[in-house]
Structure 1
Amino acid sequence: VLVVAADEGAMPQTREHLDIIDFLGVEHGVVALTKADLVDEETREIAALDVEEALAGTVLANAPILPVSGTTGEGIPELREKLVELAARVPARSDEGPYRLPVDRAFVMEGFGTVVTGTGFSGRVKVGDRLDVLPAGKSIRVRRLQVHGKEVEVARAGERTALALHGVTKDEIPRGQQLVTPESLFATSMIDVRVRCSPRWVRPIRNRERVRFHLGSSEDLARIILLDRDELGPGEDCLAQLRFETPIVPALGDRFVLRSYSPLHTMAGGTIVDPRPTKHRRFRDDELESIERREGGGSLGLLLETVVESGLAGVKTKDLVEATSLARADVDAAVAAETERGTLRVAGNGRIFSADVWRIARRTILEECGRYRDRWPLRWGPTREELRGLLGQGATIAVIGELVAQLAAEGEVRLAGEKVRAGGGEIVFEGPAAVERDRIASAFRRGGMTPPGLSEVLSAGANGVTSEVVSALVDSGELAKITEEILFHRESFERAVNALRIIFARDGNITVGAFRDELGISRKYAVPLLEHFDALRLTRRDGDVRILRQPSQEETTE
């Protein structure tokens, strides 16, 4: 209902109210020409013509104008009838999904405790439900509900509702706070928007101008960052980012109004495109295109774009609930559907990835391992950490592990501990490398449990490939590297592992002395070997003794 006094006609605030109606997306309405009892018929007609002129070109251009009087009751039945008629044209709000109610009033009522009132934006709430108070961050329980003064068990979107609450005081839930289903909405200090300057605004809106932001029942101060220009002229629209001085609670698609900081006048309005963005740089085509994709794709588009932009960091379901303002169940359903379509991939740790990003990462790993093999034929391959560095900081070791495990299962790579080798087959030793392999392997085999030091082996090399050959023998499992200086031949290493089992079966624990005597070696070799077994989780140290674990095959051969 647009209210205009018959004794004044359309005033500047009337045009401001029309702007607000437009910015909020109102499509139906009626004009109440009030104080009709204070003017004669001719003045009424003049006021009505004045209002018609003000309505021209707005969503209320053809709205009925009804003279009414609160004093005499004139026109009230007709206004009520027209409102019922218009209400029938408006689609009912869905009461599915999370509940959301902006608080416009809070007070204490005897017998009820803390009571708040507001109009439900979405969802439904019932007596006994728990709700979050945002952005205050408190949790409360609904004790009683009233809708239009009548006690009810359930209140729905669109209904004028009073809620008696347990767990909060009146002062802790002032006007502007929101009651929401837990984990459905989140407070933020930054949003992406499509903003439109009123054609009646007197000047351009300047980049970084301080504005008053109105959403629901709240008013918050913000700076408007124009992403593709320095000024937004009257009647123009653009993408912008609003950065707030205090947290707000937005949802995707929310409509808002901007008023000037001082004096207070409506200057613009718009729609929230992304309620959980990152900070943008201005005049960046790639960032503008990303925001436009989010804007055009609705909740699903925002969900997919959020996943894509996360790269190999991936996102949690909670992140998508925050980004899209969808219910958890709706996000789960969308992810399942897009995974079925091949658009998304859910990793073993539950994080969600773009299937395209995942495929690119696989290809990058294969290409890098292939180049590595060509460049250093005597090396097994790059480490997982090296691959992580190649793929960027977003990729975790866990993600790299899942990627290479998938490639290994498909026969694309082979794994040796932390290293990844492209294709199949063992390392091939040819020419001087083959000669060095035989010399080095023989030296360590002859050394048995008292092998030569690595520096001794390297100094005896004569063809410049000794170091590479040693690394290759370690990667292939022919040699076991205990420290930077101590290595054992595989046969000797297996003998040491078997000695652990013999001692533990006999004594119930393993000491350095018993291990040393069983193998006939000095502490120089016994202590590093036992510490290596601890690292491999074959043994567990308990004071001066060690306990034998039950090792996996991978651990005993690493």
Structure 2
Amino acid sequence: MIIATAGHVDHGKTALIKALTGQHTDRTAEEQRRGMSIELGYAWMDCADGKTIDLVDVPGHEKFMRTLLAGMGCVDAVMLVVAADDGVMPQTLEHLQVLKLLGGRPVLVVISKCANVTNERALHVQQEILQLLAELAVHKPPSFLLDSLSGDGMAALVEQLNTWAESFSPADDQGPARMSIDRHFSQPGAGDIVTGTLLSGRAQIGDVLRLSDNGASLRIRSIQVHGRAASAAHAGQRCALNLVGDLAGADLTRGSQLLDAAIFAPTACLDARLQLISRLPNRGTLQLHMGNAVINARCVPLRGEPLTADQHYGQWILDRPVCCRYGERFIIRDPASRKLLGSGQVLDPFAESKGRQRPERLAALVAVDASDADQALQNLLAVLADGVDLGRFMRARHLTIEPGRARHPETLRVAGWLCRQPDFEHCLQRLLAALAAHHLQHPDQAGMSRQRFTRHLGLPIRSRLLSAVIRHALDRHMLQQSGPNLHLPGHQPQADAQSLEWFEQLQPAFSACAPRPPIIGELMADLNLDKAELLTRLDKLSALGLLACVGRNRYLLPASVDHLLSVAGELARQQDDGQFSTASFRDHSGIGRNHSVAVLEYFDKAGMTRQSGQSRRLA
């Protein structure tokens, strides 16, 4: 269990921790000279049942609010310290505001320096702070009157801390490891050491974790927990890790993270639910205090009805990528005015700025706003016409086990994508009906392209649902494909006599150079046509499905398109990840680089392949 102190400067937080643990948390010479905490201090105390409590000593001075927020970002509970002689002070009120924004964390009240005042004065301060907490919906927290120097009242506080430790349920350590770093230093003979809090999972000697700053893979050479060597650290513990790996260019500042490779997914755009205590400025950069990190960001309010008078949805564009998950809480601060503006909880860590104000996008955001993963997945399947990317959903919540809904009989799975079975059947019937109607209205055309289907069915351009439906229909011979066109089995475009005559003239030239496209200049010379007339004829033949236009001045026979697609399919099957490069396609197809680029871009547009970075895979 990790507990942070809070309270006004010089109210005895550091002295209290020393009385509890025997450890002095003011480490730097400047702190010792000035007699006040500037940096975060760390200590631990052993409890009666063998458990330990980590204590984080945070500075109370208003100049160090950023440090205070960092110290309180990764803790399980807060110990609010108020000096009996001073009573409630400005930073006491500000720290109470922080407690409200963090929400849901147990609070313990300590009235310190009671030896300096009468008992009546101490009781008055105690009632005052309890009343302020009640206004924040924190009712009757444990509270103690004590003096750290004399030890009066300390026994009751220690007993309460032991009770907390005994009843505390630590985080699940079966998930992926994730550590928030608060310090980094080099030690002679050991190398790089980082200290911090293990937020989830378990870290063991020999494990390799990714650094959030630059993605570097770092191996754990040794581990210390509370100054003692350990073979592993568990979720909820503070620990020190000795790391081995390439740290060139790594910042390793407070707020950096070490993560299991499965959840290393940096993002620079996220959607969140916001609870505001002050209106956000229309312009300018704000600060998000997430865990112990500080991120500069700007907010784009999402249109739609607010949840309550002070709760809204907003999209944050960050100045640098961070690794976060669904439900992660952050505090919003205006660095210009030094005011706390509110708090937020991450709903979609992988948000896209394009289309963020569409009603469907807001509906998906409302649907995913459920702490239970199975309920959130069910909500998404109900509102997303195109289904759900299960891998993305699990990464957003740092899940290693699929939610039960992913295995529900009414849920259809295609690779890592899910949709409801009724939605799939409905889309299939609409696709077949649209094709039948198109053949009646346009008997001279080969069929419909994927782009026309997406427009007709009102689906996204890269619809996973449509891809799955088309693959299902092709595999069961409910559809056929000729080049980019899909058609019902047995349908043949009814070309006019002139078009058939043109095709007979051109076919020998196309067959002679297949699977390369013929050179337009050579066709112009052979047929004695100018370029405009030739391209008009080629486009007419493409509309009939007798040719396929794969790029500017590049046309192929449908059989050549099918052959090149089979080359791409064979390359994909040869790789474990199903991806292939432009260079490998060029080498295996033998059509040259320029033609390869045009053909692959044509496959992308036709929905036959999907590009991912420098590689492609079959759609």
Of the three residues 376, 388, 392, the one matched with 1:319 is 392
2:275 maps to 196
Contact 2:285/2:298 (CA < 8 Å) preserved in 1?
A: yes
The residue correspondences of 1:173-322 to structure 2 (distance < 5 A) are 173-198=252-277, 203-208=278-283, 210-228=285-303, 236-279=310-353, 285-296=359-370, 298-300=372-374, 318-322=391-395
2:441 maps to 375
1:342 maps to 410
Moved more, 48-57 or 382-391: 382-391
Provide the C-alpha distance between the structure 1 equivalents of 2:163 and 2:561, rounded to a whole number of angstroms: 78
Question: CA deviation digits over 1:3-51, x for unaligned, max 9?
Answer: 1112211223223222322332334221111222332323222222222
Provide the C-alpha distance between the structure 2 equivalents of 1:396 and 1:241, rounded to a whole number of angstroms: 23
2:231 maps to 153
Q: Secondary structure at the match of 2:136?
A: coil
How far apart are 1:267 and its partner, in Å? 2.7
Contact 2:325/2:349 (CA < 8 Å) preserved in 1?
A: yes
Provide the C-alpha distance between the structure 1 equivalents of 2:94 and 2:133, rounded to a whole number of angstroms: 11
Question: CA deviation digits over 1:337-396, x for unaligned, max 9?
Answer: 52542334315xx65556566445423421221112212446654456754675679556
Question: CA deviation digits over 1:449-484, x for unaligned, max 9?
Answer: xxxxxxxxx9xxxxxx5358x49xx9xxxxxx6763
1:436 maps to none
Provide the C-alpha distance between the structure 1 equivalents of 2:246 and 2:85, rounded to a whole number of angstroms: 46
Provide the C-alpha distance between the structure 2 equivalents of 1:109 and 1:41, rounded to a whole number of angstroms: 49
Provide the C-alpha distance between the structure 2 equivalents of 1:3 and 1:153, rounded to a whole number of angstroms: 36
Provide the C-alpha distance between the structure 2 equivalents of 1:283 and 1:389, rounded to a whole number of angstroms: 20
Q: Which has the larger radius of gyration?
A: 1
- Provide the aligned length of Structure 1 versus Structure 2: 448
1:484 maps to 506
How far apart are 1:128 and its partner, in Å? 0.8
Q: Secondary structure at the match of 2:135?
A: coil
2:147 maps to 69
Does structure 1 residue 21 correspond to structure 2 residue 105? no
Provide the C-alpha distance between the structure 2 equivalents of 1:168 and 1:38, rounded to a whole number of angstroms: 54
Q: Secondary structure at the match of 1:212?
A: strand
Q: Identity rate of aligned residues, in percent?
A: 25
Contact 1:6/1:34 (CA < 8 Å) preserved in 2?
A: yes
Provide the C-alpha distance between the structure 1 equivalents of 2:463 and 2:372, rounded to a whole number of angstroms: 33
What code does the residue aligned with 1:374 have? L
2:472 maps to 406
Does structure 1 residue 130 correspond to structure 2 residue 208? yes
Contact 1:307/1:315 (CA < 8 Å) preserved in 2?
A: yes
How far apart are 1:64 and its partner, in Å? 2.3
Summarize the Cα distance change of 1:10–1:120 in structure 2 as closer, same or farther, 3 Å threshold: same
How far apart are 1:153 and its partner, in Å? 0.9
Provide the C-alpha distance between the structure 2 equivalents of 1:388 and 1:129, rounded to a whole number of angstroms: 46
Contact 2:279/2:341 (CA < 8 Å) preserved in 1?
A: no
2:548 maps to none
Q: Secondary structure at the match of 1:158?
A: coil
Provide the C-alpha distance between the structure 2 equivalents of 1:249 and 1:120, rounded to a whole number of angstroms: 14
Q: Secondary structure at the match of 1:183?
A: helix
Question: CA deviation digits over 1:157-203, x for unaligned, max 9?
Answer: 111211111125597311110111113142222221111123xxxx5
1:445 maps to none
Contact 1:94/1:157 (CA < 8 Å) preserved in 2?
A: yes
Contact 2:424/2:465 (CA < 8 Å) preserved in 1?
A: no
The residue correspondences of 1:102-121 to structure 2 (distance < 5 A) are 102-121=180-199
Provide the C-alpha distance between the structure 1 equivalents of 2:141 and 2:172, rounded to a whole number of angstroms: 26
Provide the C-alpha distance between the structure 1 equivalents of 2:225 and 2:346, rounded to a whole number of angstroms: 29
Contact 1:96/1:123 (CA < 8 Å) preserved in 2?
A: yes
Provide the C-alpha distance between the structure 2 equivalents of 1:288 and 1:298, rounded to a whole number of angstroms: 19
Summarize the Cα distance change of 1:283–1:373 in structure 2 as closer, same or farther, 3 Å threshold: closer
Contact 1:34/1:67 (CA < 8 Å) preserved in 2?
A: yes
Contact 1:27/1:60 (CA < 8 Å) preserved in 2?
A: no
Question: CA deviation digits over 1:54-89, x for unaligned, max 9?
Answer: 222334330122123332222222211111213334
Of the three residues 461, 475, 497, the one matched with 1:466 is 497
Q: Secondary structure at the match of 2:261?
A: coil
Q: Secondary structure at the match of 1:128?
A: coil
Question: CA deviation digits over 1:232-259, x for unaligned, max 9?
Answer: 99x7221122222222222101111122
What is the alpha-carbon root mean square deviation over aligned residues? 4.3
Q: Secondary structure at the match of 1:287?
A: helix
How far apart are 1:229 and its partner, in Å? 8.1
Q: Secondary structure at the match of 2:175?
A: coil
Contact 1:36/1:44 (CA < 8 Å) preserved in 2?
A: yes
2:579 maps to none
Q: Secondary structure at the match of 1:206?
A: coil
Gaps of 5+ in 1: 434-457, 459-464, 475-480, 497-522, 525-530, 544-558
Summarize the Cα distance change of 1:93–1:367 in structure 2 as closer, same or farther, 3 Å threshold: same
Summarize the Cα distance change of 1:542–1:379 in structure 2 as closer, same or farther, 3 Å threshold: closer
Provide the C-alpha distance between the structure 1 equivalents of 2:505 and 2:259, rounded to a whole number of angstroms: 58
1:80 maps to 158
Of the three residues 424, 432, 437, the one matched with 1:366 is 432
Provide the C-alpha distance between the structure 1 equivalents of 2:434 and 2:218, rounded to a whole number of angstroms: 54
2:251 maps to 172
How far apart are 1:97 and its partner, in Å? 0.7
Question: CA deviation digits over 1:380-438, x for unaligned, max 9?
Answer: 5445675467567955699877644532554544556665433x66769xxxx9xxxxx
Summarize the Cα distance change of 1:397–1:196 in structure 2 as closer, same or farther, 3 Å threshold: closer
Provide the C-alpha distance between the structure 2 equivalents of 1:302 and 1:236, rounded to a whole number of angstroms: 23
Provide the C-alpha distance between the structure 1 equivalents of 2:107 and 2:371, rounded to a whole number of angstroms: 30
Question: CA deviation digits over 1:206-231, x for unaligned, max 9?
Answer: 34453221111111122233324899
1:98 maps to 176
Provide the C-alpha distance between the structure 1 equivalents of 2:312 and 2:172, rounded to a whole number of angstroms: 30
Provide the C-alpha distance between the structure 1 equivalents of 2:89 and 2:121, rounded to a whole number of angstroms: 15
Question: CA deviation digits over 1:275-310, x for unaligned, max 9?
Answer: 111127787544333211111364345556778898
Moved more, 54-63 or 115-124: 54-63
Contact 2:367/2:383 (CA < 8 Å) preserved in 1?
A: no
The residue correspondences of 1:497-516 to structure 2 (distance < 5 A) are none
Provide the C-alpha distance between the structure 1 equivalents of 2:450 and 2:317, rounded to a whole number of angstroms: 40
Provide the C-alpha distance between the structure 2 equivalents of 1:52 and 1:98, rounded to a whole number of angstroms: 39
Summarize the Cα distance change of 1:302–1:111 in structure 2 as closer, same or farther, 3 Å threshold: farther
Q: Secondary structure at the match of 1:320?
A: helix
Provide the C-alpha distance between the structure 2 equivalents of 1:56 and 1:400, rounded to a whole number of angstroms: 54
Gaps of 5+ in 2: 1-78, 513-525, 528-555, 565-587, 592-619
